């Protein structure tokens, strides 16, 4: 394998519907040289980047009305901060890998075509992921592009957790329970293997709680059940997404309210969840906690209830629970949500230490708790960077 020049680096991109998260990693090491994001891509687009010391970088001027324009501004800023930088690879988060993509892959025209065919499975995510890849390919011709899939972590789940009770022909067409947030679960599982290997030998539920939220049952290091299913809508309520819903409600919207599919999609993805439950007050948990009114309380109450309900289901799948792990923006930062979720769960052996919880310590369960409760700060960007490093090494070996 050829040595990679130490002036090279690895860029990670996470393209959302109106945002673009970015991190620049060195050839070796887990600490990024630059992090940041473009938000509200469009007429009101904003871009902020920070160096390794969290100091803001002077952002290069650019057109933030499109993902391509935002990426161009990001690249110009990075090149100004690191003159002579040569990228060894670019890693991308791709929400949906369908039934076949079970590991990160080097992007080819064929891969892009297959990812495009999955856009109907994730209509509000996949097209932007693909657009980010195409923009990076144009910006860095000849640099390996690596796709990392949120669904891959869950692809080994048992059939009963992979299917719906509808005609089997739909399963054969790819209508399955895929699960998402796999990059986060991949990182958390790796960290647990390092800091608490005894948990990885047992039964763990990881709660990735944020603007997007899901839970995963992990038995002996493998995903066996996820709260999310065919789409990133299922399971827990999220910032603006509904979570679990009776399909009859969708039929009601179609038949009685005469909504078309685009209007229903708008309701389910953008007007529901914490935002909808709070009557439009806020989609952000911090804002709801600060509001402290009836509208905020009903949204928080429902969120906590659904997390507790899913936790019971995940424990049932595994025949018990040895550890509960919080991660994601809410899971890592909200001591209120963690405390409330763990209330009334003594029957599962869960008891938290309120002092540790208030400090957001790594271990927040009490010494009397039979079930370990922890906080692990997730690093999806690092999972992508590691995959990009590996892919760059393979590429160089093959072309040496």
- The answer to whether 8-149 and 198-375 have equal CATH topology is yes
Architecture of domain 8-149: 2-Layer Sandwich (3.30)
Q: Which member of 30, 63, 103, 150 is catalytic? A: 150
The pLDDT score that the predictor gives to residue 7 is 55
- The pLDDT tens digits for 78-106 are 989 988 888 999 999 999 999 999 999 99
Percentage of residues of the chain with pLDDT beyond 70: 96
**pLDDT over 60 at 2, yes or no:** no
The pLDDT score that the predictor gives to residue 394 is 46
Classified by CATH at the fold level, domain 198-375 comes out as: Nucleotidyltransferase; domain 5 (3.30.420)
Q: Which residues, in sequence order, are CB contacts of 213 under 8 Å at separation 6+?
A: 207, 235, 236, 237, 238, 243, 307, 328, 330
**pLDDT over 70 at 397, yes or no:** no
> What's the pTM value of the predicted model, to 2 decimals?
0.92
**pLDDT over 60 at 23, yes or no:** yes
Residue 51 designated active-site: no
Say how far apart CA 180 and CA 194 lie, in whole Å.
23
The pLDDT score that the predictor gives to residue 122 is 87
Average pLDDT, the chain: 93
Worst-scoring range by mean pLDDT, 69-78, 144-153, 156-165, 293-302? 69-78
Say how far apart CA 369 and CA 365 lie, in whole Å.
6
Q: Could you tell me the residue ranges of all domains in the chain?
A: 8-149, 198-375
* Number of CB atoms found within 10 A of residue 221's CB: 15
C-alpha dihedral over 298, 301, 306, 312, to 10 degrees? -160
- The pLDDT tens digits for 246-286 are 999 999 999 999 999 999 999 999 999 999 999 999 999 99
Stretch 379-388: mean pLDDT, rounded?
96
Stretch 126-130: mean pLDDT, rounded?
91
Say how far apart CA 296 and CA 287 lie, in whole Å.
9
**pLDDT over 50 at 379, yes or no:** yes
Q: Are strands 145-149 and 86-94 parallel, antiparallel or unpaired?
A: parallel
Worst-scoring range by mean pLDDT, 17-21, 166-170, 281-285, 379-383? 17-21
**pLDDT over 60 at 234, yes or no:** yes
Report whether 306 contacts 243 (CB < 8 A). Answer: yes
Q: Which residue has the higher pLDDT, 162 or 4?
A: 162
Residue 277: C-alpha distances to residues 83, 239, 272, 298, 302 (Å): 49, 10, 7, 7, 8
């Amino acid at each position: 394998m050829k040595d990679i020049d130490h002036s090279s680096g690895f860029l990670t991109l996470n393209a959302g519907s109106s945002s673009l998260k970015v991190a620049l990693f060195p050839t070796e090491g887990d600490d990024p040289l630059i992090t940041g994001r473009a938000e509200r891509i469009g007429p009101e687009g904003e871009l902020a980047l920070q160096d390794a010391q969290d100091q803001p970088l002077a952002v290069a001027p650019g057109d933030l009305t499109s993902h391509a324009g935002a990426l161009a501004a990001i690249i110009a800023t990075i090149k100004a901060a690191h003159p002579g930088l040569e990228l060894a690879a670019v890693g991308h988060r791709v929400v949906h890998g369908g039934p076949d993509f079970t590991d990160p892959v080097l992007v080819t025209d064929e891969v892009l075509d297959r990812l495009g065919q999955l856009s109907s499975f994730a209509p509000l995510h996949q097209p932007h992921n693909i657009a980010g890849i195409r923009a990076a390919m144009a910006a860095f011709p000849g640099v390996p592009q690596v796709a990392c899939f949120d669904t891959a972590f869950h692809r080994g789940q048992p059939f009963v957790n992979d299917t719906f009770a509808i005609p089997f022909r739909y399963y054969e067409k790819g209508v399955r329970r895929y699960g998402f947030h796999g990059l986060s679960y991949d990182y958390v599982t790796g960290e647990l293997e390092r800091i608490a290997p005894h948990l990885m030998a047992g039964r763990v539920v990881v709660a990735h709680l944020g603007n997007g939220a899901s839970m995963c049952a992990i038995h002996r290091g493998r995903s066996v059940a996820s709260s999310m299913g065919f789409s990133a809508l299922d399971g827990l309520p999220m910032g603006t997404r509904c979570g679990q819903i009776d399909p009859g409600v969708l039929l009601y919207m179609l038949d009685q309210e005469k909504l078309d599919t685009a209007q229903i999609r708008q309701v389910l993805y953008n007007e529901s969840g914490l935002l909808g439950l709070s009557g439009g007050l806020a989609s952000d948990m911090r804002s709801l906690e600060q509001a402290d009114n009836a509208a905020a309380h009903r949204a928080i109450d429902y969120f906590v209830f659904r997390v507790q309900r899913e936790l019971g289901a995940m424990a049932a799948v595994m025949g018990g629970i040895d550890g509960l792990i919080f991660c994601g923006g809410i899971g890592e930062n909200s001591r209120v949500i963690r405390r409330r979720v763990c209330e009334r769960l003594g029957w599962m052996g869960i008891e938290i230490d309120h002092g540790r919880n208030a400090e957001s310590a790594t271990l927040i369960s009490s010494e009397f708790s039979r079930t370990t409760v922890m906080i692990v700060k997730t690093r999806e960007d690092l999972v992508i960077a590691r995959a990009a490093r590996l892919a760059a090494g393979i590429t160089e070996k093959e072309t040496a």
